[in-house]
Structure 1
Amino acid sequence: MGTGIVANAAVTLPRSFDGLRTAATVVWLGAALLLMLLAVRYLRQRTLRVHAADPMVVQFFGAPPMALLTVGAGALLLGRRVIGLEGALAVDWVLWSLGTVLGLVAACAVPYRMVTRHRFAPDAAFGGWLMPVVPPMVSAATGALLVPYAPTGQLRLALLLGCYAMLGLGLVAALLVLAMIYSRLVHHDAPTGTVVPTVWIGLGALGQSVTALGALAVVAPSALPAPYARGTAVFALLGGIVVWGFAMLWLALAIGLTVRTVRAGLPFAPTWWSFIFPVGACVTATGALAARTGSEPFIWTAVVLYALLVIAWVVVAGHSLRHAAKHVRRRPVAGHERRWPVDRQGGLRSEAGSRRGMNNSCH
């Protein structure tokens, strides 16, 4: 999903650059290949039950649905140049449908398990708790791309209204989790080590909501009567700017915590991918506001954020490849299931960098 958002965000930029779309298409193809390889590898491990029982790893069940949705959207945005419009539509419908179903299951099942099966300390909340509830917002944003291709009438209307309902589901749930994370930050010790990058996931949740509002407002006139269609445009602008402002506050907080941690030492871990998708969501959100307002500050903010996104992706991808190479040379003994250790703050210890798990889908 991290690699996929790098490709998709390039299409939403309010400024075009020579060769950018071609490069984005290559990155999307890489994301699609990576998705297939990791999905097959994970299913062959047969560790779903073990991960579902782990209060830490279960949070990342939201990653595979978002990976499916992101790659599916890329098929329609970029893949049509490679496989044609009909092929791209078929791929996107399949991946969007599967990703939406899995995302809704994760958004309901993971919180239910947290309430009924697991017990958490007062300082346990961390950014990973957002992972299960964000997929419905990604479904809303990517589903907007399919609205114009849905049959006119009730089916198209149902798709549009369903996307708005999923946006509300994810946004309200995300705001509740953000409140718990903020409470943990101000009432307990600040997070340290490899759990710090997960603070950035809050930025992804907020950015994805602004992106969804903008994308749905664009296609609403094809399904809603004129007064309501105009209302969605107003909602996308005013609501989007309000949420975007809060996202900038969260971005400043995340940058401050990250810089503080880097000074103390930030070892590589799969949680580093938490930097990528949230920044990508912020790029698409800013691009949506730029397209709606024509504001130069929004335009250049989107361009700068995308440049930073590409740099971060190159750094994290490079570290991940080196880590994967080391892991291949140092295979664990067969028959021994390794679990991610949890520190007293409910975060991942630095050893998590050498663990395989659901975080692979964040790539």
Structure 2
Amino acid sequence: MPSTPGAGQSVPGTAVPGPGPAWFGAVMGTGGLSTLLQLHADAVPGFATGAVVMLVLGWVMLIGLGSGFARSVARDPQEWSRSVRDATMVPLWGMVSMGLLAVGSATFVVTEARAPSLASVAFGVDAALWGAGTVLGLATALGFAVWLISRRPAHPLPTWALPMVPPMVSATAGGVIARQVKSEAIRSILVGACVVCFVVALVLGVAVIVLAYHHAWFRTPVPVALSTTTWIPLGIIGQSAAAAQVLSGPSLAGLARVYSAVVLVAGAGLGAYAVFVTVRGFVARMPFNTGWWAMAYPLSTCGLGSYFLGWQWASLLTVAVLIAIWLLCAVASVRAIAAPRHA
């Protein structure tokens, strides 16, 4: 999501990147919003239609960005090698993973509610995207963790949490998929895989978050151009709350509720800090970069965690803020893309 050399993209203020992993924050945010709109469709008129619109947009972005990146690689094969060999660009593939997972989940949730006859097809699509997204997400998280341990970079950033979030998204999405599986053996394997994803994301994510925020609070503040990336750690918090609810059985339901409530309340503090830093960035007239989309998906995970916990009021409040953020990022993205053509 970020747009700095240390985070994997071009310097903020320069021309926006072409189609590819850098833009997948938009796919993630759109898919997450679609799911939340559908979950609250019975409570708020118009949300059901909005969920379908967001789902269609999510698929358009997913296919468009994927095919656009494929064309770029066909013209310049080095484009691919740079994206997978440059450690500063590897985190961007975490966004691709989460884009697949978010759109897959939204496809099943919306289709099951709006077109039940197609639910089995949507479930197959969801399962396929979950498999691809999970493999990619684990590879990205573990690969980036190895890079951090071996290189020990001196300036931790909130963006370091980005590649650690996908396994937690897989844990939640996989838990929902497991509920639809009839075979007890397959369901157990899925749940086991989701628990592994949960642990990997939680351990790596907490370590990175502690390092990043200790550095930001006591040593070097987050650069203005990276203000919106302070939302990224909320992705682990919100998704872990959701995953705990989805994966816990009857015997662990009480413990899962306590865990989810604690992390969401703790996350409110990080959320307040993210709002403060982001407002500071806007006041300082930070230029648009694809990192603005970092505000969307992490917030949607908090809304999802609140929903599964039964905090409907908090989830609905999150959706309202998320809609405003999505519109802001969408308008800014269109303007940034159109600007070079006008010039």
In the other structure, the counterpart of 1:62 is: 94
- Unaligned runs of at least 5 residues, structure 1: 218-228, 291-297, 331-363
In the other structure, the counterpart of 2:164 is: 133
Cα deviation digits, residues 140-162 of structure 1 (max 9, x gap): 11112211232422111111121
- Unaligned runs of at least 5 residues, structure 2: 1-27, 74-78
**Which of these residues, 44, 55, 61, is aligned with residue 28 of structure 1?**
55
Cα deviation digits, residues 217-274 of structure 1 (max 9, x gap): 3xxxxxxxxxxx3223112201111111111111111112222222222221111001
1:99 aligns with 2:133: yes
In the other structure, the counterpart of 2:30 is: 3
Counterparts in 2 of 1:155 and 1:9: CA distance versus 1, 3 Å: same
Counterparts in 2 of 1:26 and 1:154: CA distance versus 1, 3 Å: same
Cα deviation digits, residues 274-302 of structure 1 (max 9, x gap): 11001111111111222xxxxxxx33222
Counterparts in 2 of 1:15 and 1:287: CA distance versus 1, 3 Å: farther
Q: Measure the CA separation in 1 of the matches of 2:125 and 2:340.
A: 32
In the other structure, the counterpart of 1:152 is: 183
Look at both structures and tell me which one has the larger radius of gyration over its CA atoms.
1
In the other structure, the counterpart of 1:360 is: none
Q: Measure the CA separation in 2 of the matches of 1:8 and 1:305.
A: 13
In the other structure, the counterpart of 1:85 is: 119
Counterparts in 2 of 1:303 and 1:199: CA distance versus 1, 3 Å: same
Indicate conservation of the 8 Å contact 2:87/2:144, yes or no.
Answer: no
In the other structure, the counterpart of 1:177 is: 208
SS in structure 1 at match of 2:164 = coil
Indicate conservation of the 8 Å contact 2:98/2:137, yes or no.
Answer: yes
Cα deviation digits, residues 201-226 of structure 1 (max 9, x gap): 01111011101111223xxxxxxxxx
Counterparts in 2 of 1:328 and 1:158: CA distance versus 1, 3 Å: farther
Q: Measure the CA separation in 1 of the matches of 2:96 and 2:271.
A: 24
Cα deviation digits, residues 44-97 of structure 1 (max 9, x gap): 322222123434322222000100001000111013435711210111111111
Kindly state the Cα deviation for residue 171 of structure 1 after the two structures are TM-superposed.
1.2
Kindly state the Cα deviation for residue 15 of structure 1 after the two structures are TM-superposed.
6.5
In the other structure, the counterpart of 2:223 is: 192
SS in structure 2 at match of 1:131 = helix
SS in structure 2 at match of 1:17 = coil
Q: Measure the CA separation in 2 of the matches of 1:259 and 1:23.
A: 28
Indicate conservation of the 8 Å contact 1:201/1:274, yes or no.
Answer: yes
Indicate conservation of the 8 Å contact 1:127/1:202, yes or no.
Answer: yes
**Identical positions, percent:** 28
Q: Measure the CA separation in 2 of the matches of 1:138 and 1:327.
A: 35
In the other structure, the counterpart of 2:72 is: 45
Q: Measure the CA separation in 2 of the matches of 1:36 and 1:244.
A: 33
SS in structure 2 at match of 1:145 = helix
Q: Measure the CA separation in 2 of the matches of 1:88 and 1:14.
A: 19
Indicate conservation of the 8 Å contact 1:134/1:205, yes or no.
Answer: yes
Cα deviation digits, residues 290-343 of structure 1 (max 9, x gap): 2xxxxxxx332221221010011001111101111224567xxxxxxxxxxxxx
Cα deviation digits, residues 155-189 of structure 1 (max 9, x gap): 11111121122111111111001001111112322
Counterparts in 2 of 1:50 and 1:327: CA distance versus 1, 3 Å: farther
Q: Measure the CA separation in 1 of the matches of 2:70 and 2:247.
A: 34
1:76 aligns with 2:89: no
Kindly state the Cα deviation for residue 32 of structure 1 after the two structures are TM-superposed.
1.0
For residue 239 of structure 2, what is the amino acid of its counterpart? Answer: Q
In the other structure, the counterpart of 2:282 is: 262
Normalising by structure 1, we get a TM-score of 0.81
Normalising by structure 2, we get a TM-score of 0.85
